[in-house]
A = this chain, B = another copy of it.
């Protein structure tokens, strides 16, 4: 092969102009040839949504002439971005797909709501080694300096080792500077949920409406979870699978009177 540099697809859910994806692109440019296909506007909380009843727009853009990556801005969801990148934009399968760096946590149960992680999962379903990165700081002014080193280490190791079939990585990074981060832990997803609180208001026409808000409840006291790692100053890596089968439950449900 003439070109041995890996091809890296970069996406996110905060939108193509978010500081988090800019930090991710900067790191990926040191590792390979980078193509960015990301939503043209914020798509947080979109989960694994796809656009099936609407047209998709996807345009090449130039954010900076000094940077080597190709960039495309897409009107769809994070998962749409991966689908259009893999099937329309790229002429070969990427060696790595990275999504993020998300502004805010995608640890524990948040993985199922996360557009960042759903993009990584989507790429994973087509056989591309994929990683979602998130920093535990929701601010648009979040500082990604410490994250860059972590991202580089994990992306390099993924390029080197590959990933087991059917597995993508969910990486969460605590809001700490480099000297404060204690290390990287491979974890299981903590057993937690959202206790929602709806804020009920009345619009100027007298009609009631609601804002969704909620409180994160971690009912898992294990020290092998992503929540424990993050609370104790570690970066968490959860290997995530998209075979959702609860294999352990098959026998029990087979004992039901179903026929």
Query: Which residues of the partner chain B approach A254 to less than 8 Å between Cβ atoms?
Result: 186
The answer to whether A92 has its CB under 8 Å from any CB of chain B is no
The answer to whether A154 has its CB under 8 Å from any CB of chain B is yes
The answer to whether A118 has its CB under 8 Å from any CB of chain B is yes
Residue of B nearest to A255 (CB): B161
Q: Shortest distance in angstroms between A12's beta carbon and chain B's nearest beta carbon?
A: 16
Name the interface size band of chain A: 35 or more
Query: Which residues of the partner chain B approach A239 to less than 8 Å between Cβ atoms?
Result: 245-246, 249-250, 253
User: Which stretch of A25-33, A61-69, A106-114 is in the interface?
Assistant: A106-114
Residue of B nearest to A240 (CB): B244
Interface residues of A in 215-259 (CB under 8 A from B): 237-250, 252-254, 256-259
Q: Indicate which residue in B51, B56, B126, B193 contacts A193 across the interface (CB closer than 8 Å).
A: B126
Number of copies: 2
A51 in contact with B249 given A87-B198, A183-B259 (CB within 8 Å):
no
Taking a contact as CB atoms under 8 Å apart, the answer to whether B207 and A109 are in contact is no
Question: Given the complex of chains A and B, what is the CA–CA distance between A149 and B175 in angstroms?
Answer: 53
Taking a contact as CB atoms under 8 Å apart, the answer to whether B49 and A188 are in contact is no
Query: Which residues of the partner chain B approach A83 to less than 8 Å between Cβ atoms?
Result: 194, 196, 198, 212, 214
Residue of B nearest to A252 (CB): B164
The answer to whether A91 has its CB under 8 Å from any CB of chain B is no
Q: Indicate which residue in B109, B188, B214 contacts A242 across the interface (CB closer than 8 Å).
A: B109
Question: Given the complex of chains A and B, what is the CA–CA distance between A112 and B114 in angstroms?
Answer: 12
The answer to whether A23 has its CB under 8 Å from any CB of chain B is no
User: Which stretch of A1-9, A38-46, A95-103, A139-147 is in the interface?
Assistant: A38-46
- Identify whether the interface residues of A are mostly helix, strand, loop, or mixed: mixed
Query: Which residues of the partner chain B approach A249 to less than 8 Å between Cβ atoms?
Result: 163-164, 167, 239, 241
Taking a contact as CB atoms under 8 Å apart, the answer to whether B157 and A210 are in contact is no
Q: Indicate which residue in B48, B153, B210 contacts A47 across the interface (CB closer than 8 Å).
A: B48
Taking a contact as CB atoms under 8 Å apart, the answer to whether B253 and A237 are in contact is yes
Taking a contact as CB atoms under 8 Å apart, the answer to whether B191 and A243 are in contact is yes
Taking a contact as CB atoms under 8 Å apart, the answer to whether A56 and B211 are in contact is yes
Please give the residue numbers on chain A whose beta carbons come within 8 Å of chain B beta carbons, in ascending order. Answer: 42, 44-53, 55-58, 79-80, 83-84, 86-88, 109, 111-113, 118, 121, 125-126, 153-154, 157, 161, 163-164, 166-167, 169-170, 183-184, 186-189, 191, 193-198, 200-201, 203, 207-212, 214, 237-250, 252-254, 256-259
Question: Top 5 closest A-B pairs, CB basis?
Answer: A47-B48, A239-B249, A241-B246, A47-B47, A239-B246
